[in-house]
Structure 1
C-alpha cells in the first residue's frame, strides 16, 4: 500500500499524465504482491468499464459539447447580460450568472471556466477590470457547476458510492444557487469599492428580461427536464444522459437551426477526446480501488479518524480540510474515484447523510481546481488571459473566503442540501 501511494505521487511530481500515474501505481501493487495474481488487476480494469450507471458520463460530456454548437451558449450570455449587467461590476456579475446557467449544460467546471475566459475575459479587461479579478471571478465562479445538475462529479460519486444520482442532482440545486448569490454579493462589494461600473445605465424592463429568458428557454429548460425525467421515473440517470444528447441535437437542428454537420463532427471529436481521458482514469482506478479495499485501507483510516472524534460535524470539517489540501494537488475526478470508498463508510457510520456528504465533497474537490499550486481551472483561465498566478491568488481571496463560509454553513445545516431530495423523492 505504501509502495502504491509513493509511486503514484512520485509519478505525479514527475509530470506523468494522471491516468498513467494511477495505472502504473495500481498495476505495480499486483505485480509485487505474492498473494493476488496479476490477472486480477487486469480484470479490475475491465470490470470498472462494465457499469451501466457509468454510461451517464460519456453521454453528458458529449451533450455538453453538442450544446456548445447549437447557439445555446450565446443565448445564455445574452440572457445573463440582461439580468445582471446593470449591477455594480455588471460584466463580472454576468460571469457568475453564466456559470450557474452553464452548469446545467456543460457539467464541467474546467470547460465552463475556459469558455468564459475566451469569450468574456478580454471584454472585462478592456473595460478596466484587473486581470487578477477577472480570472478569479471566472475560475471561482465555475465552481457552481460542481453541484448544478448534470454535474459529472456527482455522477461519478453516485457511481462509486452506490448513491442515488437523482437525489444528488436535486440536492445540488440549492447549494449551487447559494454559491451564485454569495459570489455575486462579494463581486458587488469589490466592484463598489473599486468603482467598476455597470455595463448598462438603467435596469432592464420586464419586457426585455422576458424576451431574453424566452430566447434562452431551451437551455433553461434542460436541467429542469433532466430532474423531471429522473423524478418521474421516465429515465434512469444513464438513460437521461442519452436523452441529453438527443435533446441537444433536436434543439440545434430543429429549434435553433445552428447545429451544422461540421459542428456536430467537431463536438463528437472533442467528446471522444474528453471521454477517452475520463474513462481511462476510471478504468485504471479500478485497480487502485481494489488494492485499497484488499489492504483494508478504509477500515484503518476510519478507525484512526474515529479515535480522534465521533462528532459528525467535526469529522466533516476534518474531511473538508483534507479534501481542500488534496484538491490543490490532485484533479477532482481522481479524488472522487479514490477517496469516496474511504470517506463514505466513515460518514455513514456517524449517521451523516450520504447525499449531503456528496454535495460537500464534490464542492471541495472541485474547489481545488481553482487554487494553487496545480488548479486546472486556475491554470486554464490564467494562461488564456495572460495573468500571473500571484495576482490571481491575491484577487481570489475574498471569493475563496465566500465559498469556504458557504461550505461551513452546508456542513452544519444539512437541510439546505436535503430539502429538495426529501421533498420530491
Structure 2
C-alpha cells in the first residue's frame, strides 16, 4: 500500500488546487520520506537533472519566437490574406478567425496567446457585423485550439520529450489533424451562419491577382514553419537549434523587413517569455522527482499489466484513453495531464503496438477540448474575460463545436494511418 501513497498524495494535492510542480515535489518527497534508505539528498540532483537537458531549450525558444511574431505586424498581414481567401463566404469574418488561427499555429504555437490576440482584434469587429458576442467568443476560443496541433506547437515538443520520440515526426503528424480541424470548424460555421444570416465581408470572391497581392506581403511569415519542419525532419538542425533560428527569423522579420518592431519590443518579449517558460521548467524539474518514484517502483509496469489483462484490443484501449483524457481535462490543464498520465500509459501503449507519435496527437486533441470546457477551461476563461462573455452563454453556444471536436477525435483515433501519413511518407 505504501508504494501507492505518493500517487495518492499527488491526486489529493491536485484536487485541492495546489500548483502542479509543488504537487509533484510533495509527492516525490513523500516517497523519499517513507524510504529513508534512498536518501533525500537525491531530490536536488533529480531536479537539476530534470531541467539541465539541451532538448528543453526548444521550449523557451519557440515561446519567444511566437511572442516576437505577434509584435511584428505579421498577424495583421495574415488577417488581410485570410480575408481575401474566405471573406466572400457566409459568416466571412468567422471564417477569417478560424483560418487565421490555423496559420498562426505555424508561428505562435500557443493557444492562449492566439485566443487572447484574436479576442481583442477580431471579436469587436464580428459584433459590429451582427455576430453575437457569445458566438464570436466561441469561434475565437475553438479555433485557437488548432494552434498547438499545427507545428511547431510547444505541446508537441513537451510530449516528444516525455515519450522520447522524434520532434520532427510529431510536427509532421500534426499537419493533417490540424487542417482537418480547420475544415470541420469552417463547415460548422457555414451551416450556423446561413441559418442565422451572418453575412460575408466581401461582395464577391477575390481574383487570383488579388490573392497573390495580399499573399506576397505574408509570404515570409507563411514560409517560416516550412523552414522549421523541413530543417528538423531532414537533420539540418535539431529542435532546439530550430527554436533559436525561429527567434532570429522573427526578430529580423520585425526589425528589418516589416519595420513594425522596435528594440524595446524585444526586451518586452524576453520578459513575457521568461514568465511563461519558467513555469514549464519548474514543472519538468519537479516531474523528474516524481518520475524517479514511478520508475523505481515500476508503477507503469503495474498499470500496463492491469490494462493488458482487462483490455482486449488497441481500439478499446484508445477509446478508454480518450474518455479518461476528456474527463481529466474538465479538472486539469493539458500539461498536467501529460506529465502525470502519459508516462504511466506509455508501456501499455507500446505493448499493444500503438505508435507513440499517433498516441501523442490523439492526446493533444483530447487535452485541447478541456481548454474550452468548465470548470478549468483556460482558453475559455481567457476569451470570456476579454470579451466580457458569461461562461454559461459561451458553453451553450459551444455545444455544436464540442460535438464536432469529439467526432474529429474518434475519426482520427479509428484511422491512425491518416495521422501517420506524412511522418511515414518522409521516413
Instruction: Choose from 245, 259, 263 the match for 2:265.
Output: 263
* Residue of structure 2 equivalent to 1:238: 240
1:30 aligns with 2:44: no
| Post-superposition CA distance 1:99-154 (Å, at most 9, x none) | 10110111111111111111112222232212221121111111112221101111
Tell me the residue number matched to 2:19.
17
Q: Which consecutive residues of structure 1, in runs of 5 or more, have no partner in the other structure?
A: none
Q: Supply the distance in 2 between the matched residues of 1:315 and 1:13 (Cα, whole angstroms).
A: 26
> 1:209 matched to which residue of 2?
211
Q: Distance in 2 between matches of 1:216 and 1:412?
A: 36
Task: Name the SS for the 1:73 alignment partner.
Answer: helix
Partner Cα separation in structure 2 for residue 44 and residue 306 of structure 1: 31
Farther off after superposition, 174-183 or 247-256:
247-256
Worse overlay, 288-297 or 363-372: 288-297
Query: Residue 75 of structure 1 corresponds to which residue in structure 2?
Result: 77
> Partners in 1 of 2:15 and 2:347 — Cα distance?
30
Structure 2 residues without counterparts, runs of 5 or longer: none
CA-CA distance at 1:49 after TM superposition: 0.6
So what's the TM-score if we normalise by structure 1? 0.96
Question: RMSD of the alignment, in Å?
Answer: 1.5
Q: 1:422 aligns with which of 406, 424, 427?
A: 424
Q: Which residue matches 2:349?
A: 347
Q: How does the TM-score come out when normalised to structure 2?
A: 0.96
Q: Provide the secondary structure at the position in 2 that maps to 1:257.
A: coil
Match among 291, 294, 313 for residue 293 of structure 2: 291
Report how far residue 388 of structure 1 moved.
1.2
- Which residue of structure 2 aligns with residue 412 of structure 1? 414
- Alignment of 1:88 with 2:66, yes or no, is no
Q: Partner residue of 1:105?
A: 107
> What are the Cα deviations for residues 282-301 of structure 1, in whole angstroms up to 9, with x where unaligned?
11111122222223221122
Compute the displacement of 1:97 (Å).
0.5
SS of equivalent residue, structure 1 residue 144: coil
- Measure, in 1, the Cα distance between the counterparts of 2:413 and 2:127: 36
Query: Once the 2 structures are TM-superposed, how far is the Cα of residue 252 of structure 1 from its aligned partner?
Result: 1.2
CA contact (8 A) 1:30 1:38 kept: yes
Give the alignment partner of residue 248 of structure 1, picking from 250, 263, 277.
250
For residue 229 of structure 2, give the secondary structure of its aligned residue in structure 1. helix
Spell out, residue by residue over 1:180-227, the C-alpha distance to the aligned partner (whole angstroms, 9 max, x if none): 001110111111111111122211121111112111111111111111
Partner of 2:117: 115
* Counterparts of 1:239 and 1:172, CA distance in 2: 20
Structure 1: distance between partners of 2:15 and 2:125 = 36
**2:376 matched to which residue of 1?**
374
- Residue 173 of structure 1 corresponds to which residue in structure 2? 175
Equivalent residues in 2 for 1:185-200 (5 A)? Answer: 185-200=187-202
Partner of 1:50: 52
Question: CA, structure 1 residues 11+309, in 2 after alignment: closer, same or farther (shift >3 Å)?
Answer: closer
- What is the rounded CA distance, in whole Å, between the counterparts of 1:333 and 1:10 in structure 2? 18
Whole-angstrom distance in 1 between the partners of 2:338 and 2:317? 18
The alignment of Structure 1 onto Structure 2 pairs a total of residues equal to 425
User: What are the superposed Cα offsets for residues 287-326 of structure 1, whole Å, 9 maximum, x if unpaired?
Assistant: 1222222232211222222222231111111101101111
Alpha-carbon distance in 2 for matches of 1:269, 1:117: 22
**Cα offset, 1:6, TM superposition:** 4.0
Distance apart, 1:11 and its partner CA: 3.7
Q: CA deviation at 1:2?
A: 4.3
> How far did 1:32 drift?
3.6
| Structure 2 partner of 1:221 | 223
